[in-house]
Amino acid sequence: MDVTAAWFEEATADSAVGREARDVAWDATPLGPPESWPDPLRHAVRLCFSTRFPVMLVWGPDLTLLYNDGYREMLGTKKHPAALGSPARAVWDEIWDEVGPLFDTVLSVGRPTLSRDMRLMMNRNGYEEETYFTFSLSPLRDDDGRVVGVLDIATETTYEAVNQRRLAALGEVHAALPMTFTDLRSFALPVMAVLAQSADITRAAFYDVEGVRVVLDTGGAPEPGEEALVRRALETGLREVVPGTVVKPVRSGQGKGLLAVLVLRGTSVRPWDADYARFLVVLSTTIAAALRDAVRRRLNDEALRRRALRSEEERNRATEVSLALQQAVLSEPPELDDLEVEVHYRPAAAERDIGGDWYDAFATQDGATTLVIGDVIGHDLAAAVAMGQLRALVRAIGYDSQGTPASVLERADAAIDGLALGTAATATALVARVEQAGGGALRRVRWSSAGHPPPIVVRADGSCEVLRVRNDLLLGMDPAAPRRDHVVDLGPGDTLVLYTDGLVETRHSALHDRLDRLAEVLAGTHDAGLETMVDTALSGMLGTTADDDVAIVMVRPTGVHGHAG
């Protein structure tokens, strides 16, 4: 029917849907021809077609429908243009149970409504479709003030709502991904638990690469072509994307090996478009990367565990060798007629922390007694080996040369350099030569220190002297470094105490204070046996444990002159 009402032609002139509305047989609807429409309806129609924002209005007892270009998009491909002039209930029959009560509220109470992101299952494109809308329904009144129509100002929020939901699902899956697992099923369980709650996933399945069997799945049954897609993905190692489904082979990260195949199928109530495909691809890639990383982490952890086990075994072997070497060289001192000698070695509390402490005592060809105590830098097999080499060097040079302690250390330095023993042979050392003095009971001790803690003399009256001198360089640092001898006399009942730094050094106290403390501990022990003096020094300085190895040598003249100086 050709509509000739001037006002209607004017109101619909700038709208494509408005021009289509002119062809509607309005006189066959409850509204009648446009020229008979009341002014309030005309005003509402003019408003509807004057805006680009989606607007729909209904008028009269049948809620006859009109809408503009913006609203036309919401009707999809199946409802327009038949919706023009039709009852709203007939147009939106599939969602009337949700929106009908809202229209009734506006018509009966006369107050507007507001709905945000309302989920509506529409059939506007030939299939059931999940949609979301934010809209407000407002009353339209006639000249007498009665509510006779409803104005619907709406916007579709489906895109935003679905995207937010998909982002949330990605976050939930990411949070659920296990860092470690025992098998494919244990990895898949927490992932499947999240996917089962996703409105965008109707099926998820993990396939084993052996025998193409389902390890774990959730949702609907597999479609007929699913297994074929899985087999193709296994053969090519490439992702398969078909309408509604993504099949993702999970690479092992080592060559062309595969760990599993993941299948994700979308829902039929959302159109399969680029966004949907992208969502499933990103989701499958995230899960696959997590599985691959977890496998790699497990392999790395296993490799580290095996390496640690090998290292532990090697360290144990090195410890055994070190202990054997150390015990071999820490021999009992010689029995001397004129000197009582007590030696002691105490390892660190950490059994595997083997150091390079050593001691030695031997009689030279001229009847003097040489005492040696030293400490190689380091706590490992290399330190133990270097300790054995240095002990042998000093012992041989001291016995053969019968020189002063300073000359013995100088020759040891030259040997370290000439034999290219390297930095492993860097050590503190103290060599002392005990000689008779003037044929009486007095003993003269000549000693030289290569960076070693100073000797202590416990006098026969119980007093203690710390023989502090300026130390020479450590052994192994400079073969040309000059060395100096020092002298102290021992009378009957005096005791010379030599020790390594493990007895006096701590992280929390200055060395000067610790030396004074050792002197205090030893003071008054002159009447005790040498073994008791050793125990007193250890308990007074260390308690029951030691952080470092400790070696101690104590010498006391007996007054019996069996060796000539």
Residue 313 covered by a domain: no
Q: Does the pLDDT at position 381 exceed 90?
A: no
> Domain tally for the chain?
3
User: Would you say residue 318 has pLDDT above 90?
Assistant: no
Q: Are residues 286 and 345 in the same domain?
A: no
The confidence score (pLDDT) of residue 562 equals 42
- Contact yes or no for 34/3 (Cβ under 8 A): yes
Residue 3, pLDDT score: 46
Q: Answer yes or no: is pLDDT of 335 > 90.
A: no
Q: Can you give the pLDDT at residue 356?
A: 80
Distance, in Å, from the CA atom of 36 to the CA atom of 24, rounded to the nearest integer, reads 15
User: Quick one: 218 and 360 in the same domain?
Assistant: no
**What single-letter amino acid sits at 37?**
W
What is residue 319's predicted lDDT score, i.e. its pLDDT? Answer: 57
**Helix, strand, coil percentages, rounded to 5, for the chain:** 40, 25, 35
Q: Tokens for 493?
A: 């009942």
- Residue 310 pLDDT greater than 90, yes or no: no
Residue 324, domain member (yes or no): no
Look up residue 369 and give its two tokens: 């007694």
Spatial separation of the C-alpha atoms in residues 412 and 415, rounded to whole Å: 5
Q: pLDDT digit string (tens) for 456-472?
A: 999 999 999 999 999 89
* Final residue in a domain of this structure, among 139, 156, 173: 156
On whether both 409 and 459 belong to a single domain, the answer is yes
Residues 147, 227 within the same domain = no
Q: Is the pLDDT of residue 355 over 70?
A: no
pTM for the whole structure? 0.57
Contact 207, 215 (CB under 8 A): yes
Q: Indicate whether 307 belongs to any domain.
A: no
> Tokens representing 174?
């990411």
| 220 vs 7: CA distance, rounded Å | 56
Asked whether residue 138 falls in the same domain as residue 195, the answer is no
User: Which residue type is seen at 413?
Assistant: D
pLDDT in tens, 279-289: 999 999 999 99
For position 290, which CATH number holds? 3.30.450.40
With H, G, I as helix, E, B as strand and everything else as coil, classify residue 207.
strand
Bridge partners of 343, per DSSP, are 553
CA distance linking residue 368 with residue 562, whole number of Å: 10
Instruction: Looking at the structure, tell me whether residues 276 and 371 fall in a common domain.
Output: no
Banded pLDDT at 334 (limits 50, 70, 90)? confident
Establish if 317 belongs to a structural domain.
no
Residue pair 85/64 in contact (Cβ under 8 Å)? The answer is: yes
- For the four alpha carbons of 524, 526, 531 and 537, in that order, the dihedral sign comes to positive
Judge if 352 and 232 occupy the same domain.
no
Range among 302-316, 379-393, 506-520 rated most confident: 506-520
Q: What is the mean pLDDT of residues 528-545?
A: 90
For 25, the token pair is: 């047989």
Rounded (10°) CA dihedral 75, 76, 78, 82: 30
Measured distance CA(140)–CA(138) in Å, rounded:
7
CA 531 to CA 445: how far, in whole Å? 21
At residue 546 the predicted structure's pLDDT band, cuts being 50, 70 and 90, is low
**How high is the pLDDT of residue 445?**
96
Q: In this structure, are 131 and 106 located in the same domain? A: yes
Structure tokens at 210: 């052996």
Residue 564 in any domain: the answer is no
Position 238 scores a pLDDT of: 93
H-helix or E-strand containing 536?
helix 530-541
Sole residue written with tokens 């055994």:
320
Q: Where are the alpha helices (DSSP H) in 22-95?
A: 39-49, 69-72, 88-91
- CA-angle at 382, arms to 381 and 385, nearest 5°: 85
Identify the helix (H) or strand (E) that includes residue 188. helix 184-195
Q: Percentage of the chain with pLDDT > 70?
A: 92
Res. 159 pLDDT band, cuts 50 70 90: very high
pLDDT band at 493 (very low <50, low <70, confident <90, very high): very high
Q: Which residues span the domain enclosing 178?
A: 162-299
Shared-domain flag, residues 181 and 126: no
Where residue 430 sits, what CATH number does that domain have? 3.60.40.10
Average pLDDT, the chain: 89
For residue 294, is it within any domain?
yes
User: Tokens 């595997």 map to which residue?
Assistant: 352
User: Which pLDDT score is estimated for 321?
Assistant: 58
Q: Model confidence over 410-437: pLDDT tens digits?
A: 999 999 999 988 888 899 999 999 998 7
Angle at 147 between CA 146 and CA 150, to 5 degrees: 160
For residue 135, which of 122, 147, 118, 149 has the smallest C-alpha distance? 118
Residue 385 has what pLDDT?
82
> DSSP letter at 87?
B
Residue 254 pLDDT grade (very low, low, confident, very high; cuts 50, 70, 90): confident
Domain boundary among 248, 276, 299: 299
Please state, in angstroms and rounded to a whole number, the distance separating the CA atoms of residues 527 and 544. 24
Sign of the four-CA dihedral 84, 88, 89, 95? positive
- Judgement on whether residues 262 and 188 belong to the same structural domain of the protein: yes
In the listed set 114, 137, 156, which residue is the last one of a domain according to the structure? 156
* Residue range 544-549: mean pLDDT, rounded: 74
Average pLDDT over residues 39-66: 97
Query: For residue 308, is it within any domain?
Result: no
* DSSP structure string for 242-310: ETTEEEEEEE-SSTT-EEEEEEEE--TTS---HHHHHHHHHHHHHHHHHHHHHHHHHHHHHHHHHHHHH
pLDDT of residue 439: 65
316 or 449, greater pLDDT: 449
4 confidence band (pLDDT: 50, 70, 90): low
Is the pLDDT at 2 greater than 50? The verdict is no
pLDDT of residue 324: 54
Q: Are residues 294 and 398 located together in one domain of the fold? A: no
Q: Do 140 and 32 fall into the same domain?
A: yes
pLDDT on residue 5: 86
What confidence tier does 527 reach under pLDDT thresholds 50, 70, 90? Answer: very high
Torsion-angle region of residue 144: left (phi > 0), alpha (psi -120 to 50) or beta? alpha
* 3 state DSSP class of 374: strand
Residue 488 included in any domain:
yes
The Cα 280–Cα 155 span in angstroms is 27
Q: Mind listing the pLDDT tens digit for each residue in 114-139?
A: 999 999 999 999 999 999 999 999 99
